[in-house]
Amino acid sequence: MLYIKRDIDGRLLRVEATAFDDMTGELPDDDSEVRAWLAAQDSLAHLRQSDLEMVRVLEDLINALIDKGVLRITDLPDSAQAKLAGRSRARNALGSTRLLVDDDDTGVI
């Protein structure tokens, strides 16, 4: 049995294996609505991970374009410059701990 919370229109908002405070009902594990909701959550999680990976791809692309002289950092909007600078500072702050991060910056080795 799974514990659920629905919105006022009856759409699933949350599905949990254990009871929680503001749950609004229960559904069997094999319910088609639950299976569809869980599949959608898996797809969203995959997209979130893909977004994080694409950020790194874009950052590397921007750096490559700057290194080749195709783009200047000042060609970018101020907010983009600030974000890139912040990421650069964060990477530099890793310093000696950089060996703990794999080449793709996706996790600890």
Mean pLDDT by 10 residues, the chain (109 residues): 96 95 95 95 94 90 94 95 91 67 52
pLDDT at 107: 52
Domain residue ranges of the chain, discontinuous segments joined by +: 2-53
CB 3 within 8 A of CB 20: yes
pLDDT of residue 40: 95
Torsion angle defined by CA atoms of residues 35, 106, 62 and 78, in that order, rounded to the nearest 10 degrees: 80
Please say whether the dihedral angle defined by the alpha carbons of residues 41, 4, 31 and 2, taken in this order, is positive or negative: positive
Residue 97: the pLDDT is 56
